[in-house]
Amino acid sequence: MSLPMPIAWIALAELFGTALWFTPNAVIGDLEREWALAAPDLGWLTGAVQVGFFVGTLMIGLSGIADRRDASRLFAACCLLGALSNAALPWAGGLWPAVALRLITGMALAGIYPVGMKLMVGWAPQRAGLGLAWLVGMLVVGTALPHLLAGVSLGGNWRGALWSASLLALVAGGLVWRLGEAPGVRKTSRDTPRWAGPSAFRIAGFRHAASAYFGHMWELYTLWVLIPLLLATALPELTKTQLAFGSFALIAIGGPGCWLGGWLSLRLGSRRIAQIGLVGSAACCLLYPWLGLHGGRWVALFLGLWSLFAVIDSPHFSALSARACPPSLVGSALTLQNAIGFAISAGSLAWLLPAWSSLGPWVAWLMLPGPLLGLWALARKDVASG
């Protein structure tokens, strides 16, 4: 089955644009040496992006700008802003200027990820589950991409890895600028009132699909940030380059998982795929502490399975939420949903990353409530089955 051109275009732009997300994580060893950082400082750099993303999505979601203005132009402008703030990171010189730049990058990503979802729903309204599965799959590979760039950067130059991600973001903005708006969306978007996003929570189907997404977000980004630590603990003999490639593979495996889930959703429906992902995530959270204590290659394979389950459901929460909303509200509703979800992920990171040093693999049990909440919310009868 061929993939429609607008879906492919937007998905590729999402891959390139979200390469900005975890760039410091991929070169954290170099930053620690350059700026004399301590291990907990990684939490500040990652958390700043999540907080910036929350602030940006809150502004976009509450103002309704993603529905009242051309989303393609907003996407391109945010790619430019994110590319510039990320490219300036080598000149930050220390933790707190870097945190400020990462905050700006997070705000820029607010106009890349959820606005990209709005564009995808507009160009593929009858195949939203499939389109969003491709978009989120590219997001997954994009967030893993800095680890790959760090592994292949010229002569071990960590600055090259950062600048490569910025270049990809500029290409992403150009792709979406050229694509423009879906014809039907352009005609209806001006009807969206200001501050329209919160009204979506009056719709029961949206409210419960969003609640399932919130539970999912408690687990997902904490797992992605922990993966290099979990992998290094399971296989301490890995070199720096092997750890970079291994982390890329373990995160990026979720991309093909999302694409597979997208095709399956055409037969099973988005609700069923989301439930499968949540059940798998819950099982992995429950089992990992016993496996993680022993280490070895089997643990690395288990991490790949966990990473796949943790994200295969992600596009389908958005598909269910979009299906519950009127077209004139989709962009604002999805962006506000993302704002709350990423605020939850920032809280999870702030609490669970420090717990790693004392709990080790048992920190997985603190992620378990997220998938369980998601399963409870999707069991509600007012959530669409498609």
Residues of the chain with pLDDT under 70: 1-3, 39-40, 147, 150-156, 184-197, 384-386
pLDDT of 153 reads 55
How much is the pLDDT for 169?
96
Instruction: Give the separation between CA 370 and CA 349, rounded to whole angstroms.
Output: 13
Predicted confidence at residue 291, as pLDDT, reads 84
pLDDT, residue 298, reads: 87
| CA 82/CA 145 separation, integer angstroms | 16
Token pair of 103, please?
């905050």
CB of 377 closer than 8 Å to CB of 223: no
Query: Given this model, what pLDDT does residue 192 score?
Result: 55
Residue 212's nearest CA partner among 337, 343, 57, 51 is 337
Contact indicator for 42, 163 with CB cutoff of 8 Å = no
Q: Give the right CATH number for 5-189+202-378 from 3.40.1010.20, 1.20.1250.20, 3.90.226.10, 2.60.40.1730.
A: 1.20.1250.20
Domain ranges of the chain: 5-189+202-378
Q: Which residues contact 93 (CB under 8 A, 6 or more apart)?
A: 35
